[in-house]
Amino acid sequence: MGEPGALSPKQLEENFCKDIHPPLNLNQASIEASRCYFCYDAPCIKACPTEINIPSFIRKISTGNLKGAAIDILSENIFGGACARVCPVETLCEEGCVRNTAEDKPVAIGLLQRHATDWLFEKKIQPFERKNLKQKRIAVVGAGPAGLSCAHRLAVLGYDVIVFEAKKKLGGLNEYGLAPYKMVNDFAQKEIAFILEVGGIKVELEKEFGRDFSMAELRKEFEAVFLGVGLSGVNALKLESENMPGVLNAVDFISDLRQTKNLSAVALGKRVVVIGGGSTAIDIAVESKRLGASSVTLVYRRGFSEMKATSVEIEFAQNNGVLIETWARAKKLIGNSKGISSVEFERTQSGSSEIFTLPCDTLFKAIGQILIPEKLGDVKEFLEITNGRILVNDERRTTLKNVFAGGDCVNGGKLTVVSVQDGKVAAEAIHKELS
């Protein structure tokens, strides 16, 4: 299948290695910072899952105190750099900005956040330091944003942290999932290096929980455990011949795409159909288009307003040439042992019986990810898992003492920033528990 080489290497580089939201220059940052009103009880803070003190950091940018600004951000959100790049700010902090009401144009909080954190990284300043070393060991399973956020906060609080990660690289979906044009120049790894620099965090790569070690062992060896294992399974369409060639899981394809050294060699068909309505669906659709697919149609079973993807994401996909079909459900996959050739859809609006067929050589499934408890060894014996989520309370405690969890594995798949907050909250709860 597929036709590598449809686009020139130069075009591919343009499509994948160029930042879609380029950083602000000094001038732009100073103008933008001056737009912040320094609100009392600012709505933007409440709209940020990690509760960064936004007016404070923006004011610091405007006074030239960039170090203070970056510290404001990173002390609430150690992945402030990644979040500045990938947060759907239009539904988070910037949605809260009072400037929306008066003039329909919020302060560009995300870009200002990037301005401050980029400055700190460029200056190679390490603002964190470990204090009150505790000689207590905590295990963190999974090195995505949830796990690493937890590990960092614990290390700063003086704990010794061991991070177990199944994959070859740290970062979870920061490294294997987020769209390349949002995280250019290997930013995920640079950010993680900064996070680990504080010390006290030992990393064990290619150590898979459930296969290489068990919950029983962790409980014996560590004072507390944090699970940030994300979601390892993918929802199925539950249609016949779902395994035929050309029918792919979006997340697996994206994971390979993020790791490839040679974009020209990535195999992709000419006509692509994507099923789903969240940001993964948007990402795979845009990435397909940017890889050179001649047509990409995204099909969602309900309407635009029901899509999980934000209006900004939808518009971005449309601007990239993605066609979006709403109110349609895949009914039948058509093809043979060589591969898929078309998909038959039916309308989901009541009263409509329209059936239509979209020819394709690649079908991406992007209808959500799930937790597969079986992959986590003996976990089920200890913890309550309902609806594919590990059950936790406000402090991110599981039903088992001294075992905490956070991120996609407790919420079914939300956002990077939500996972970061979970890790931070859990670390504070662990600290409270152990001191």
Partner 1 sequence: MADLTCKIAGVKSPNPFWLASAPPTDKAYNVIRAFKAGWGGVVWKTLGEDPPVVNVSSRYGAVEYNGQRMMGFNNIELISDRPLALNLEEIKAVKKEWPDRALIVSLMVPCNELSWKNILKKVEETNADGVELNFGCPHGMSERGMGSAVGQVPEYIEMVTRWCKTHTQMPVFVKLTPNISDIRKPARAAKAGGADAISLINTINSITRVDLDQMAPEPVVDGKGTHGGYCGPAVKPIALNMVSEISRDPATRGMAISGIGGISNWRDAAEFMALGSTSVQVCTAAMHYGFKIVDDMIEGLSHWMDEKKYRKLSDFVGAATPNTTDWQYLNLNFKTIAKIDQTKCIGCGLCYIACEDTSHQSISVKAQNRKNIFEVIEEECVGCNLCAHVCPVQDCITMIPQESKKPYLNWTEHPNNPQSKI
> Which of 11, 21, 56, 99 touches partner 1 by CB under 8 A?
99
Q: Count how many residues are written for the chain.
A: 435
Minimum Å gap between C-beta 425 and ligand SF4 is: 22
By CB under 6 A, residue 98 contacts ligand SF4: yes
* Nearest Cα residue to 397 out of 370, 431, 374: 431
Type and span of the H or E element at 271: strand 271-275
Q: What is the DSSP letter of 399?
A: S
Tokens of 197: 């620099």
For residue 61, give every residue at least 6 positions away whose Cβ sits within 8 Å of its Cβ, in sequence order, or none. Answer: 29, 30, 33, 69, 112, 115, 116
Stretch that binds partner 1, among 94-102, 138-146, 154-162, 342-350 (CB under 8 A): 94-102
By CB under 6 A, residue 84 contacts ligand SF4: no
Q: What is the DSSP letter of 109?
A: H
By CB under 6 A, residue 82 contacts ligand SF4: no
> Which of 1, 6, 7, 39 touches partner 1 by CB under 8 A?
39
* Nearest Cα residue to 411 out of 151, 231, 184: 231
Q: Which residue's CB is nearer to ligand FAD, number 66 or number 263? A: 263
Q: Could you tell which of ligand FAD, ligand SF4, partner 1, none binds residue 86, using a CB distance below 5 to 8 A set by kind?
A: ligand FAD
Residues that bind ligand FAD (CB under 6 A): 86-87, 141-147, 164-167, 172-173, 177-178, 208-210, 228-230, 232, 251, 254, 279-280, 283, 376, 407-409, 413-417, 419
Ramachandran class of 402: left when φ > 0, alpha when ψ lies in -120 to 50, beta otherwise: left
Other Cβ atoms closer than 10 A to 377: 18
> Which of 24, 29, 33, 42 touches ligand SF4 by CB under 6 A?
42
245-284 residues in contact with ligand SF4 (CB under 6 A) are none
Which backbone phi and psi does 404 adopt, to 5 degrees? Answer: -120, 160
101-140 residues in contact with ligand SF4 (CB under 6 A) are 107, 109
> Which of 12, 54, 293, 409 touches ligand SF4 by CB under 6 A?
54
Report CA dihedral (224, 229, 230, 232) to the nearest 10 degrees: -150
Type and span of the H or E element at 295: strand 295-299
Stretch that binds partner 1, among 30-38, 86-94, 376-384, 413-421 (CB under 8 A): 30-38
Q: Could you tell which of partner 1, ligand SF4, ligand FAD, none binds residue 40, using a CB distance below 5 to 8 A set by kind?
A: partner 1
By CB under 8 A, residue 158 contacts partner 1: no
Please, what's the b/e burial string for 264-286 (b: 16 or more CB within 10 A of its CB; e: otherwise)? bebebbbbbbbbbbbbbbbbbbb
Cα distance between residue 185 and residue 183, in whole Å = 7
By CB under 6 A, residue 39 contacts ligand SF4: yes
Q: Which residue's CB is nearer to ligand FAD, number 89 or number 324? A: 89
Judge contact between 225 and 396, C-beta under 8 A.
no
Stretch that binds ligand SF4, among 16-24, 95-103, 166-174, 212-220 (CB under 6 A): 95-103
Sign of CA dihedral 406, 408, 413, 416: positive
Q: Which residue's CB is nearer to ligand FAD, number 215 or number 358? A: 215
Q: Which residue's CB is nearer to ligand FAD, number 66 or number 178? A: 178
369 strand-pairing partners? 234
By CB under 6 A, residue 51 contacts ligand SF4: no
Q: Which residue's CB is nearer to ligand SF4, number 101 or number 319? A: 101
By CB under 8 A, residue 26 contacts partner 1: no
* Nearest Cα residue to 109 out of 79, 123, 88: 88
Minimum Å gap between C-beta 94 and ligand SF4 is: 8
Applying CB under 8 A, the residues found at the interface with partner 1 are 30-31, 34, 37-43, 46, 62, 98-99, 101-102
Applying CB under 6 A, the residues found at the interface with ligand SF4 are 36-39, 42-44, 54-55, 96-99, 107, 109
